[in-house]
Amino acid sequence: MKKILITGGAGYIGSTLCTELVKLGHIVTVLDIMKYNTDSLSHLYFFDNFNLIRGDARNRKIMKKLISKNEFIIPLAGLVGAPLCEKYKKDAITTNYFAVKLIKSLIKKKNKIIYMTSNSGYGVGEKNKYCDENSPLKPISLYGRTKCDAEEEIKKLKNSVSFRLATVFGCSYRMRSDLLVNNFVYRAVTKKKLDIFEPKFRRNFIHVKDVVKGIIFSIDNFNKIKSNVYNLGLSSANITKLMLAKKIKKQHSITKIKIIKNKKDPDKRDYFVSNKKIEKKGFKAKISLEKGIKELLLYFKNSSEKIVNNY
């Protein structure tokens, strides 16, 4: 049983992570401003090993108190994605970067940090080469830069693990439809067509449940993997946007795929990613894109939930 603090724990990854950690018997405290969904953690209010504090991860007084009471710190609070960060630049910098710097200034010897950064730091990868943890970081958005800068701060700490996440997909208690797989399935269901520009852009993906399993693996094996950075993605899910669209059409045959030739993708990321480093340590993502697409098709066909995205 561990005492775990999660900032931004009511979000897309956080709400799924908290649920699993509470089920495992850990004492979980969430600090969240509850901006997008106030119900994503309500199913946990019953449990004595769960505590929710409505507050801001940039607040030094609150963070000092909470860090002193917990062993593991998992900073998930942040403005996620390039469009949102461009819209609210100051908040992006203070939340994604300075809030992490604040944690670094407050932690003690007993604290262990598990930090989620992003594959987006790789920017544009080489054509026939996979990005690994030694590849140069060339973020092309403010979002990518804030995450890379925060990772640099975390790397200075001995008791830390950083995960560079692939693009996450799948259902969560705090649902998002702006993430690439989720968005493609949402559009296939609601519009019955997928307009794709720059179809050969490459990406790596991972199901939100596998992200959670990876974090739990890092808690259970912290001393074995600490003081390191790892890519965290599904190795069989290094595919192009067009390949993804075809996988969706295979399960939702009425989807029409149209390639738009004269339009540029504002998100210029284009890379395949190697996940061998974490796999050699003993963790491997397993939930397939096909399984996630099936789940998402059922969700978007049947849910009446109003999804409030980050932008």
Asked if residue 17 is part of any domain, the answer here is yes
For position 135, what pLDDT does the model report? 92
What is the per-residue pLDDT for 252?
97
Does residue 194 form part of some domain?
Answer: no
Q: Is the pLDDT of residue 267 over 80?
A: no
* Model pLDDT for residues 41-80, shown as the tens digit of each residue: 999 999 999 999 999 999 999 999 999 999 999 999 999 8
Residue 266 has what pLDDT? 61
28 pLDDT more than 70: yes
Report if residue 217 sits inside a domain.
Answer: yes
Predicted local distance difference test score (pLDDT) of residue 310 = 62
- What is the residue range of 146's domain? 3-170+204-234+269-286
Is 7 domain-assigned? yes
Query: Rounded CA gap, 142 and 186, in Å?
Result: 26
- The rounded distance, in Å, linking the Cα atoms of 83 and 28 is 31
Q: What is the pLDDT of residue 81?
A: 83
Tell me, yes or no, whether 293 lies in a domain. Answer: no
CATH number for the domain that contains residue 39: 3.40.50.720
d(CA 251, CA 267): 26
User: Which residue from 81, 11, 23 is spatially nearest to 216, judged by alpha carbons?
Assistant: 23
Q: What distance in Å separates the CA atoms of residue 273 and residue 293, rounded to the nearest whole number?
A: 21
Whether the model clears a pTM of 0.85, i.e. scores above it, the answer is: yes
CA atoms lying within 13 Å on the CB side of residue 207: 19
Task: Report yes or no on 258 lying in a domain.
Answer: no
Q: How many domains in the chain?
A: 1
CB 26 within 8 A of CB 4: yes
Residue range 144-182, pLDDT digits in tens: 899 999 999 999 999 999 999 999 999 999 999 999 999
Order across the sheet with 27-32: list the strands. Answer: 50-54, 27-32, 3-7, 72-75, 112-118, 160-165, 228-232
pLDDT tens, residue by residue, 96-148: 999 999 999 999 999 999 999 988 788 777 777 899 999 988 888 899 899 99
Task: Give, for 76, the enclosing helix (H) or strand (E).
Answer: none
Task: Tell whether 240 is covered by a domain.
Answer: no
Statement: residue 304 has pLDDT above 90: no
**What's the Rg (C-alpha) of the chain?**
19
Which residue from 94, 88, 101, 142 is spatially nearest to 118, judged by alpha carbons?
142
Over residues 210-229, the pLDDT tens digits come to: 999 999 999 999 999 999 99
Q: Is residue 249 part of a domain?
A: no
Q: Is 255's pLDDT higher than 80?
A: yes
